[in-house]
Amino acid sequence: MKNVTLFLFAFIQFFSACSQNETATAQIVSNNYGISQRAIKQGWNPDAGVIPSLTVGGKTSASSNPEMSAKIIDEKKESHWQSGQPFPTNFISRPDQNFLIGHFSKKNNYRASKISNPTYATDGNPNSTSANVGLANGEAFIEVIFQQPQDIQSIVVRAGNVQAPLDVFIKKNNQLEPVGNYKKSDDHQVLRFRVDAKSIKTIVIKSKQPFSLWEIAALESAPKEWAMVDLGKVQKVGWVDTRHWAGTDAAVSSALSISVDGKNWRKIKDLDPNALQTVTTIINPPLPARYVRLEHGVKEKDWGSVFIWEFDVYDKYGPYGKMPEDATNKNTFNDILGVNGIWGWGFEKYSDLVPEGRGADLFEKISSHARNYHFLMWDVMDPDNAPDYVKMADGKGTETNWWLDWDREYKTWTEGDMKLQASILFRDIPSDQWNNPYESAYKFGFLFAQHFGPTLGTGMVESIEAGNEPWYYEADFYKKILHGMTKGIKEGDPKITVLPCALQAAFPANEYEGQFKNYIGARVTPEVKNYIDAINTHLTPWSYNENGEQIATHPEHPYNGTRAILNMIRFRNHNLPELPIYVSEWGWDSDGGTEECIHGECVTERAQALYAVRGALMLARTGVDRATWYFFANENKESSLFTRSGLVSSLTTDFKIKKAYIAWQAMLHHIGDKHHLMALQEDDEAWVYVIGDKDGKATHIVAWKPIDAEDNTTSTIKFESPYAPTSAWKLEGKNPKGEKISTPIYKNGEIKVEVSAVPVVIAVK
């Protein structure tokens, strides 16, 4: 057993993938992702789930380096537009930055002791002919006059033939204030004087000797550099995603603006120029726009430039789109909900050695199924080798582990009411170790299904995934494994439910940039549609705040990642109609069970409980067939992403029950054997669903405000109902049967109830 324990230190690999090849390079997938023209003509659309950005086909322009501006809509978040460099001198020639260009073309804009060629001093070219300023009454001076008081950040002077110092002043409140001087040793240099002053009436340059003024320039504020997209026509804009990080210490401001004509602009929002990740700006209500512009104020330092990385523009529904048509979910809540587990349920020993009431015994109370991470390399030493499950069943272990007996482990998982979903992991297998990926995957799938399936085998495994997450293999390589393994499983036992690994249908760009290569359009093709029985996806509850930091938000939040289920539904509806959708991982990290949660994606224990219930209700409403919580327990590690996602605490703290577990218990106590029937309301005020039996008879109504769990706002809502309330409970995670509250008022066919972040379940008749 010592060897077993040592081996198990590595068994919980939370962020596991279908495969791993860290040296593989990303490549841009073709438009049809290797799908035959015949399949496309027959209606297969790999991008059926995608909500295209309104920038597709748009035209771009920029304040400088316009030839680079197309990179802001190329769907590659690692490419960027880079501005020119306003400092030290480039801004002088820019009328959009230097507000003194052409200023001396009008005589009432200046006054001088004696001057020739004054217009050259404000022509935006410090190397053109100079204006010569002569003496009058023993002083040479020029005064720049503003018809309206002017804010000034900086003044630039280039002078020549300097015989005596030039003193530079601003006039404010009828008083001259010195800002600097230009000495003989500075002759013909371009000097910049920082001013930072408001409501200036004039700029004055004085000397006791004549001098030549080659150029005077000024900035009202930080010079602006921008890039913009022309959408081609005026459209209602409600959502703008920007990856706009300006560079390290490069900008002092950023602003998002829109326009219908490219001339008159409306600022929508000030943004943080230091935000590294994508930032979403919601425009509510949506506004008409043809042009969308992002503008940086450049920090005053020499040779500095700014960046803009990517623009995506959508209507009010964003990249996830509308909620689907409402329909009755054929699955009960008991059927839908499950939990992710692992060998030994965290006790680091066979599950039949786990204390009574723990492990599978504990989670079968709230789960119809449990999902296990079944590591392929626990069974074979090489992916091309055939697993010998007959030998394993005789107590002789596997090729890799002499002690391993999956039959013994899985028997404990399934002897109650839980079904077993096995996710076959190949995370630790570099692609070059697969000599024959299709044939080897077929062989593994066939033998696995024959041994664990119901037709000829133990019947312990109800469903199998051909991998967990596919980030480490290129699409073409993974498709060989997928095709082989799914076909092998089906031919080994056609009664087993077969799934591909977890994929997403919203963002095609993931397939050719960054780490997360998981686009379903590139990885599930018509050649495997006859071998898969369900679609598999993972949902993460994250978005980014205004600083570009990844955070967790409530499930109804417009840019919570849970909404990516909507893209998967559209892909399914178009390409694989009626196929079930399994959400095999979803959940929130939280504190609780005496373990703190302090990383950026954490929510409170109470929030996790509320979101577990609200998220389950939302997913059932979208029609998903399974929603498997990640993870059964916290991990025995410090607080970091996914280590606090458990419904109970970790082994270190004896798996203490968290509020989310209790909230699920309470929900299932009331509506576990019921179905989502219909949505009465889904808006900012409240979400209200009708729940009922298999015959469509309403038995309950659930209602809540779609707000952050820490928001204590309440509202009293009314809605028509032919059903009278008989009792009501809050589902807050305090009591496994819920927290009893007063029965809502029913009058004139209307239910009146107070709603908050806490879901309320109302029994009706």
What residues pair up with 716 in beta bridges, in sequence order?
754
Is domain 90-219 annotated with CATH 3.40.640.10? no
DSSP per residue over 404-471, as a string? --HHHHHHHHHSSS-EEEEEEE-TT--GGG-SSHHHHHHHHHHHHHHHHSTTTS-----EEEE-S--T
Q: Which regions of 604-742 does DSSP assign to beta strands (E)?
A: 626-629, 675-682, 687-692, 698-704, 715-720, 725-730, 739-741
Q: Please count the other Cβ atoms lying within 10 Å of the Cβ belonging to residue 693.
A: 14
Say what the pLDDT of residue 32 is: 67
Q: Are strands 687-692 and 675-682 parallel, antiparallel or unpaired?
A: antiparallel
Q: Are strands 140-160 and 211-219 parallel, antiparallel or unpaired?
A: antiparallel
Cβ burial of 221 (10 Å; 0-12, 13-18, 19+) is middle
Question: What contacts 638, CB < 8 A, 6 or more positions away?
Answer: none
DSSP per residue over 502-556, as a string? --BSS-GGGGTSSS---BHHHH--GGGTTT-SSEEEE---EEE-TTS-EEE--TT
> Considering only the top CATH level, what class is 59-87+223-316?
mainly beta
- Say if CB 473 and CB 481 are below 8 A apart: yes
Query: Could you tell me the two tokens for 131?
Result: 């204006």
The 8 Å CB, 24+ separation contacts for 11-14 are 11/342, 11/343, 11/344, 11/348, 11/375, 12/342, 12/346, 12/635, 13/373, 13/425, 13/427, 14/630, 14/631, 14/635, 14/642, 14/643
- Say if CB 178 and CB 169 are below 8 A apart: yes
Span 367-387, pLDDT tens digits: 999 999 999 999 999 999 999
CA 202, 206, 210, 216 dihedral sign is: negative
- CB contact burial 292-320 (16+ within 10 A = b; e otherwise): bbbbbbbbbeeebbbbbbbbbbbbebbbb
Query: What homologous superfamily does CATH list for 675-764?
Result: Golgi alpha-mannosidase II (2.60.40.1180)
What residues pair up with 338 in beta bridges, in sequence order?
369, 628
Alpha-carbon Rg for the chain, nearest whole angstrom, is 33
Half-sphere exposure in the Cβ direction for 204 (13 Å, CA)? 18
- Comparing C-alpha atoms, which of 513, 566, 475 is closest to residue 243? 513
List, for the chain, all residue ranges whose pLDDT scores fall below the cut of 70.
1-32
- Cα–Cα dist 671/700, whole Å: 8
Name residue, tokens 């240099």. Answer: 189
SS3 262: coil
First-residue to last-residue Cα distance in the chain: 57
Say what the pLDDT of residue 562 is: 97
Say what the pLDDT of residue 9 is: 31
Cβ burial of 697 (10 Å; 0-12, 13-18, 19+) is exposed
Give kind and range of the element (H or E) at residue 176: strand 175-182
Q: Please count the other Cβ atoms lying within 10 Å of the Cβ belonging to residue 685.
A: 12
User: What CA–CA distances, in Å, run from 237 to 262, 428, 558?
Assistant: 15, 45, 15
Say what the pLDDT of residue 14 is: 33
CA 232, 234, 239, 242 dihedral sign is: positive
AA identity, residue 380: V
- Say if CB 583 and CB 336 are below 8 A apart: no
DSSP per residue over 656-682, as a string? PBPHHHHHHHHHHHHHTT-EEEEEEEE
- Cα–Cα dist 474/499, whole Å: 19
Domain boundaries, the chain: 1-26+33-44+342-527, 59-87+223-316, 90-219, 675-764
Say what the pLDDT of residue 31 is: 54
- Cα–Cα dist 299/617, whole Å: 48
Query: Could you tell me the two tokens for 46?
Result: 């790999």
- Cα–Cα dist 407/77, whole Å: 46
User: What CA–CA distances, in Å, run from 152 to 92, 119, 202, 564?
Assistant: 14, 21, 10, 48
Find the length of the chain.
765
Asked whether the domain spanning 90-219 has the same topology as the one spanning 59-87+223-316, the reply is: yes
User: What whole-number percentage of the chain has pLDDT above 70?
Assistant: 96
Residue 478 φ/ψ, nearest 5 degrees: -60, -35
Kindly state the DSSP code that residue 601 receives in the 8-state scheme.
Answer: T
Give kind and range of the element (H or E) at residue 259: strand 251-259
